[in-house]
């Protein structure tokens, strides 16, 4: 009789520990998509849309490379630092390289 | 009044690059080229300083506009009150200044863009410059009048810029008959094959002069 009571007490203890532990385990949170990272360099040239698409940013980079004035070089260098999209960074790198090999 | 501009290899390289991009973005690249090719030298030092100031202002505005390439440019994208005032001051000075020297490029190793500003044309534009609203095409007609016509290098001379200048002025004059909105839209819409071709002819001719300059021939 004592052993049965002891077994029941242990079972109750295990059950209560399990229930407490289960209550403390956080429920899985549904994944929330994060906004795409911003590339702040476009704000420096007064682009009204704060987050233009990568293709638009590549076109911006190309036009900066075409104009090639000192302020364009500054913006391209900023793009190289701030830009999160590798394709845009690559375009900025190529534009800067072309401008640095430009005749004086 | 004679004018001159040193055509540095960098300036020429930029014109050539822009020429390759002209077809994609309306009249705006031509405004950039025009701002780059505004004369540096006249027969008056005072006028040269005023020209340099205006050229810098116009160049900066055009370059930024070209890079941003807004879908619908507006008056303030094209001009502000201070640049209109600077344009008016320059136009008035062209009509009144005494020339001390002949306009000439300082670096003989560079091809030189030369031209002549017709004072009667400037005089005729002065009234329109005073009365036209900001963002109008009138200042661009004035800048077009300042553009040179020839490339001179040592004993050689070519009038390769004259056809481009003439067609540019023709386009501007036609746009002056339209509303300013049409001018702003023309900056970013459509291409002008004939204008592009004449710009290319100038770049090619200047590249030939540059090649001569590089070889010292």
Residues 45-104 of A with CB under 8 A from B: 45-48, 59-60, 63-69, 71-72, 75, 102-104
Helices B162-176 and B193-215, interaxial angle, to 10°?
A: 150
Judge: A67–B63 Cβ closer than 8 Å, yes or no.
yes
Query: Higher model confidence: residue A49 or residue B160?
Result: B160
pLDDT tens-place string over residues A28-47: 666 666 666 667 888 878 77
End-to-end CA distance of chain B: 30
Query: What are the two backbone dihedrals, phi and then psi, of residue B104, each rounded to the nearest 5 degrees?
Result: -155, 150
HSE-up of B61 (CA within 13 Å, CB side)? 23
The minimum CA-CA distance between A93 and chain B, rounded to whole Å, is 17
Judge: A67–B32 Cβ closer than 8 Å, yes or no.
yes
pLDDT tens-place string over residues B29-43: 999 999 999 999 998
Query: Does residue A37 sit in helix, strand or coil?
Result: coil
Using the predicted structure, report yes or no on whether residue A10 has a pLDDT greater than 70: yes
Residue A73 CB neighbours (<10 A): 17
Dihedral sign, CA of B87, B92, B98, B99?
positive
| Local confidence band at B217 (pLDDT 50, 70, 90 cut-offs) | very low
ipTM of this predicted complex? Answer: 0.87
Residues 99-158 of B with CB under 8 A from A: none
Distance between CA atoms of residues B45 and B23, nearest Å: 38
Distance between CA atoms of residues B186 and B190, nearest Å: 7
Sheet holding B2-6, edge to edge: B2-6, B112-116, B150-153, B156-158
pLDDT tens-place string over residues B56-114: 999 999 999 999 988 889 999 999 999 999 999 999 999 998 877 788 888 888 899 99
Candidates B67, B111, B207, B211: best to mutate against A (most CBs of A within 10 A) is: B67
């Amino acid at each position: 009789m004592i052993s049965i009571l002891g077994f029941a007490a242990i079972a109750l203890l295990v059950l209560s520990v399990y229930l407490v532990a289960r209550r403390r385990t956080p429920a899985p949170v549904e994944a929330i998509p994060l906004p795409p990272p911003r590339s702040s360099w476009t704000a420096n040239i007064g682009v009204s849309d704060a987050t233009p698409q990568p293709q638009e940013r590549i076109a911006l980079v190309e036009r900066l490379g075409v104009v090639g004035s000192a302020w364009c070089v500054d913006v391209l260098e900023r793009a190289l630092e701030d830009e999160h999209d590798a394709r845009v960074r690559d375009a900025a790198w190529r534009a800067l390289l072309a401008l640095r090999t430009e005749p004086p | 009044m004679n004018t001159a501009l040193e055509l540095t290899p960098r300036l020429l390289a930029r014109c050539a690059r822009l020429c390759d991009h002209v077809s994609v973005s309306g009249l705006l690249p031509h405004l950039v080229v025009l701002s780059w090719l505004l004369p540096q030298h006249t027969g008056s030092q005072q006028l040269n300083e005023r020209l340099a100031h205006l050229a810098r202002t116009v160049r900066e505005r055009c370059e930024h506009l070209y890079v941003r390439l807004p879908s619908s440019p507006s008056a303030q994208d094209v001009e502000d009150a201070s640049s209109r005032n600077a344009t008016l001051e320059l136009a008035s000075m062209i009509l009144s200044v005494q020339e001390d020297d002949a306009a000439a490029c300082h670096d003989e190793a560079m091809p030189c863009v030369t031209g002549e500003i017709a004072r009667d044309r400037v005089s005729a534009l002065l009234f329109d410059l005073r009365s036209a609203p900001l963002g109008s095409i009138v200042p661009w007609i004035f800048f077009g009048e300042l553009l040179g016509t020839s490339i001179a290098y040592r004993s050689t001379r070519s009038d390769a810029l004259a056809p481009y200048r003439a067609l540019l002025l023709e386009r501007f004059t036609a746009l002056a008959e339209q509303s300013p909105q049409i001018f702003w839209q023309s900056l970013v819409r459509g291409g002008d094959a004939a204008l592009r071709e004449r710009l290319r002819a100038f770049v090619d001719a200047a590249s030939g002069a540059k090649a001569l300059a590089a070889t010292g021939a």
